[in-house]
Structure 1
């Protein structure tokens, strides 16, 4: 049986094992990691030895010729890849209102030192930190310098021997591939989950369909059409490294294998000259450092993100994406994607979705990257030695078949998406599945603000609660994440849970009554509510309405603004220099006076609710001042917006409001707040409601042994 066959068996057996045992085989990831690191042992030494040897054996004229032809082939492959990507995006279905994805977590973009990545100031540092572009540049410089040295044969023999030894070691390790792939597949199938399904499948299915078409026809067919080498021979030669790259999710580890297979293919078809062999030794490691097809398919995700978030891209935007995206991909993908999203004004939260979907598409991307290196190396080497056999008939046949295949793929995907892609959900259902962490006792919820009652209730409110046996808690219906009503009509939130604890500790029933700030004082005074619990900031101007307990949370002030404008609010000087800045505030005058000193040129507008900022454009505000906690929840629902904490951190207390002057109830609440803090209840609720725990209720990974056979709990 061929190595490819054994690798495929290992892959299928690993997937079956993972599905059967689920998370019980997660430990096998360690075995897979050991295998990948064994493959990596030879890669950097191979790159150095093969580049120095390959370039050193050439004359300066041959080296210039190879560089020129290699650049032409690379540009041709890039142009072809971009055409395929933008054509594949035509498969996205026509839906009036695209979906959305939000993340409550702040966005942290990886920063890469490009000078360190590409310039080997210290080659030993570059080797230690696996900075491949810097290692390649160092090797190219050494190889080019050897071209001009007369007595170089001994040193070239040394590097030839090192390259041969590394190739031999790699061949031995590759024999373990079926076992390593089994472990990797078992661990992945046992633990991998994709939470964002539904319409995210538009991207996943399109990506996979395009990847398979390129792998099984377009790129192998291109080699065959331009070289005259039979398609079957081309494909069979590179099955092993492609399967290995797919299974490991790493094209770097198969570079030695690709080089040896390229040389074997050229030799079988009469192109085994020393120049061709040297060209392979140069092109394989060098091509690794340029944006490959695996990287370029990131542009498909950006196009999907625009569709997903209902952002219209004009022709100029697409041209900018093609050129700007290509240049940005010379660096890290995790830097390039946020840059491209920001440049097209696509919500930055989509980067979180990119990381999630990368679990699936990453393996196809590694396979395509390996295929990219193969195409460049084979065509580039044949071009150097003049063995390309391009005929008009073969190219026309290849282009016609490729075009028909793309048309069939796009039409088939559109039909599939029309049938299986779910319709967009209403925006207010983003948090529809959020529930209380525990429902300790039943409670009633009123949804209408009661009419004002001017009658003032005398006595301590605590006594009234004990007399009636009912705790009436005031809440704000749309105050995410402290108190809000889900589309299913359930009242949930941080303070809803805390009110349950309070009612239990008092031994009374619980009733929730909505309030508005204008009605807070009369509702407290009249006894329509006993206490207001809804992340109320105890700011000085509010003490005219009520008395407040000790702070139970320290809230942090932030701006909520459009993603692509976040850089303005990150920098205080940039903020002050904005000529027509409008900032929205809610309720309190406290922040307005301080913000006037911070940004004196800004105009302030007052809104009745945070929701109005996101749903009503007539206010004309550029940003909304909210707490980080509230802003994160709204940014989750409205992903075009993000939360920016100002450079100077501003915190203020959240407290519970009781009738003004009710000292006995205040003292009770102060003691109760401290009790809940000391026993950890407040921290637990903060983690659940403010840090995203409510959206992360994780179930054990589905497995046959647990969910079908029932052998384990």
Structure 2
């Protein structure tokens, strides 16, 4: 029966994410973007080689399973009373310590809630509303529809009778958030149900007194509702849960919730590679959800005790026609509630701020005068010391490709910006140049352009390839990128679950001419291939391609402009090393550039620009909120960027 109850709860929980609004949202690149591919070690998760290691590392299912097995073995030990007496002393010590901490916990909870309330952004609050409302609706469905209807269908007890009898226990639990204090009341309520129908006897009384405490130990229904937060966290972080992930969540979460939810939730967030900072949202929400989930648990204990006792005493009954009707009512009620909730979320909960605003707000800090040309200059021979010629002329000629977002691109205002553009400004200033000239380049022609000395350096996400090594000189690579496929959002789940579809001639992958297309030909030999001159050909649909091969850093930026697309990581991971390219004979300039890159890394300049241009951090700095410390006591200014404590991805 407990298995059937768990199945009902998990089925309803799996349906609740269907109500979450589907927002076409995207974000800048995050190193944890592809973290969900890590495999779970189920042996270590459930069968601990060292239980103390599991305790220390918060591996809750292993600790739970080990404790259950120890309890079963202890039942057959003849001299267990002495051991249990010693455990009673230890239990008393831990209980007193726990009670001391409980007395202090309101201060800690207040501090955590205050910190979260002071740092959460308005869009995060809107998203938390989605979780709170979904949680309440799920609780209402369990308390007033599913659990009492199932009990009244399989026993002589009526629907209204069940609710009326359990009303006092439900209200007490809802107000106090303490299930333990209502256990005697739940025993009496269950006995009352049997007494009204003249079914009470010594056997039923004994069973009720045994089943209610046992059900209290098990996570029946209400405590399992904490797993809804993990599904919500996946939606919050734009990570979808497949069928296998649902099974992993419910199997692992069931064992984890034998202990405290405040221990289980961080463990499950880590297991599914979701942002650990989301636990702050859980703590804030638990102020409201804690009492509700224990009210659901009280109803579940009552229903489970009544069902099990009726079964053991031979009073379980059902009519097939009545059972089908009641199940139809339950299914219809849940469907109506879920559909209504989905419509409310879609039309009443505002979509969070657009990352496109962040992309548009990005600016290059001008360090020297910059001029952008629309065509390359004439060729000229490389003669003498080219490095000294650059410094004496005061002009640095830089080649760029505007398809290399976020390394080099034109923003909404038509300004040339990007990571490499800012690095070019830094380089020009430190070479002592007065002016920097930007010239457009095609990747396929880059070797010829450099050999003809049309530009001094190419700074635009230039990949190091074997073919290019013979045509130009590269600096040490300054970044390692991950290749990814950009596909339409609705196809992402299908391609992740059936990756063999990609290795098919009917599946056409497009790539920009140059290194990306060369890499496509080598890595996706069985797929259809299409060479692009620019990315707009793909996004406008003129290419008729199914996917675009690009880097994850580049693709993340493109999803901001085109949120109907999303990234997937190919089964065989491909890395891309990027560097700055110069004339193959310009060795003095090359030596200077390599040491210059080392200086930029050691000073933290490269990391700062990476966070700004690639991760999109600290682009739009939020206004500091009103605070007692700053505005009343005139203390130090709040830290900039503190409002972005909870990451989206």
Q: Does TM, normalized by the shorter one, top 0.5? A: yes
Q: How does 1:691-706 map to 2 (within 5 A)?
A: 694-697=615-618, 702=625, 704-706=627-629
Q: 1:359 to 1:352 in 2, by over 3 A?
A: farther
Q: 1:178 to 1:606 in 2, by over 3 A?
A: same
Question: 435, 438, 441: which one pairs with 1:510?
Answer: 435
Give the secondary-structure state (helix, strand or coil) at the position aligned to 1:473: strand
> Is the 8 Å Cα contact of residues 410 and 416 (structure 2) preserved in structure 1?
yes
Shift of 1:421: 1.7
Query: Who is 2:251 aligned against?
Result: 330
Q: What is the distance in 2 between the residues matched to 1:327 and 1:549?
A: 47
Q: 1:453 to 1:140 in 2, by over 3 A?
A: closer
**Does structure 1 residue 210 correspond to structure 2 residue 210?**
no
Unaligned runs of 5+ in 2: 149-159, 193-203, 257-271, 318-324, 638-649
Query: Who is 1:100 aligned against?
Result: 26
Give the secondary-structure state (helix, strand or coil) at the position aligned to 1:104: coil
> Is the 8 Å Cα contact of residues 397 and 456 (structure 2) preserved in structure 1?
yes
Question: 167, 170, 187: which one pairs with 1:231?
Answer: 167
Query: Who is 2:156 aligned against?
Result: none
Shift of 1:641: 0.9
> Is the 8 Å Cα contact of residues 495 and 535 (structure 1) preserved in structure 2?
yes
Q: What is the distance in 1 between the residues matched to 2:85 and 2:5?
A: 27
Query: Who is 1:344 aligned against?
Result: none
Query: Who is 1:360 aligned against?
Result: 281
**Does structure 1 residue 481 correspond to structure 2 residue 409?**
no
Give the secondary-structure state (helix, strand or coil) at the position aligned to 1:431: helix
Q: 1:686 to 1:216 in 2, by over 3 A?
A: same
Query: Who is 1:280 aligned against?
Result: 212
CA RMSD after TM alignment: 5.6
Give the secondary-structure state (helix, strand or coil) at the position aligned to 2:25: coil
Q: How does 1:607-686 map to 2 (within 5 A)?
A: 607-609=532-534, 612-613=537-538, 616=541, 618-620=543-545, 622=547, 624=549, 626=550, 630=554, 633-634=557-558, 640-644=566-570, 646=572, 652=577, 654-658=579-583, 663=586, 666-678=587-599, 680=601, 684-686=605-607
Shift of 1:515: 0.8
Higher mean alpha-carbon deviation, 166-175 vs 185-194, is at 166-175
Q: How does 1:76-475 map to 2 (within 5 A)?
A: 76-78=8-10, 85=16, 89=18, 92=21, 98-101=24-27, 103-106=29-32, 107-109=34-36, 111-118=39-46, 133=61, 166=91, 170=95, 173-174=98-99, 176-190=101-115, 198=123, 203-212=127-136, 219=143, 226=162, 228-229=164-165, 231-237=167-173, 239-240=175-176, 242=177, 258-263=179-184, 265-267=186-188, 273-287=205-219, 292-296=224-228, 298-299=230-231, 325=246, 328-331=249-252, 357=278, 359-361=280-282, 364=285, 367=290, 370-385=294-309, 418=347, 421-422=350-351, 425=354, 431-436=359-364, 439=365, 441-446=367-372, 449-450=374-375, 454=378, 456=380, 465=390, 469-475=394-400
Q: Deviations over 1:446-474 (max 9, x none)?
A: 3x622x65564775665665565433322
Q: What is the distance in 2 between the residues matched to 1:421 and 1:596?
A: 44
Q: What is the distance in 2 between the residues matched to 1:158 and 1:226?
A: 42
Shift of 1:155: 5.4
Shift of 1:520: 5.2
Q: 1:464 to 1:188 in 2, by over 3 A?
A: same
Q: What is the distance in 1 between the residues matched to 2:578 and 2:305?
A: 69
**Does structure 1 residue 605 correspond to structure 2 residue 534?**
no
Give the secondary-structure state (helix, strand or coil) at the position aligned to 1:618: coil
Q: 1:281 to 1:190 in 2, by over 3 A?
A: same
Q: What is the distance in 2 between the residues matched to 1:168 and 1:632?
A: 53
Question: 636, 643, 647: which one pairs with 1:712?
Answer: 636
> Is the 8 Å Cα contact of residues 555 and 567 (structure 2) preserved in structure 1?
no
Q: 1:694 to 1:327 in 2, by over 3 A?
A: closer
Shift of 1:218: 6.0
Q: What is the distance in 1 between the residues matched to 2:214 and 2:169?
A: 23
Q: What is the distance in 2 between the residues matched to 1:171 and 1:270?
A: 34
Higher mean alpha-carbon deviation, 104-113 vs 220-229, is at 220-229
Shift of 1:479: 0.8
Give the secondary-structure state (helix, strand or coil) at the position aligned to 1:377: helix
Shift of 1:355: 5.7
Q: What is the distance in 1 between the residues matched to 2:450 and 2:4?
A: 77
Q: How does 1:473-552 map to 2 (within 5 A)?
A: 473-517=398-442, 529-537=455-463, 539=465, 541-542=467-468, 547-548=472-473, 550-552=475-477
Q: What is the distance in 2 between the residues matched to 1:162 and 1:268?
A: 33
Give the secondary-structure state (helix, strand or coil) at the position aligned to 2:398: strand
> Is the 8 Å Cα contact of residues 557 and 645 (structure 1) preserved in structure 2?
no
Shift of 1:489: 4.0
Q: What is the distance in 1 between the residues matched to 2:589 and 2:133?
A: 64
Shift of 1:674: 1.3
Shift of 1:616: 3.9
Query: Who is 2:645 aligned against?
Result: none
> Is the 8 Å Cα contact of residues 538 and 653 (structure 1) preserved in structure 2?
yes
Q: 1:112 to 1:547 in 2, by over 3 A?
A: closer
Q: What is the distance in 1 between the residues matched to 2:226 and 2:119?
A: 21
> Is the 8 Å Cα contact of residues 407 and 461 (structure 2) preserved in structure 1?
yes
Q: 1:472 to 1:132 in 2, by over 3 A?
A: closer
Q: What is the distance in 2 between the residues matched to 1:416 and 1:591?
A: 42
Q: What is the distance in 2 between the residues matched to 1:126 and 1:655?
A: 48
Q: 1:383 to 1:442 in 2, by over 3 A?
A: same
Q: What is the distance in 1 between the residues matched to 2:231 and 2:397?
A: 54
Q: What is the distance in 2 between the residues matched to 1:160 and 1:274?
A: 26
> Is the 8 Å Cα contact of residues 581 and 603 (structure 1) preserved in structure 2?
yes
Query: Who is 1:588 aligned against?
Result: 514
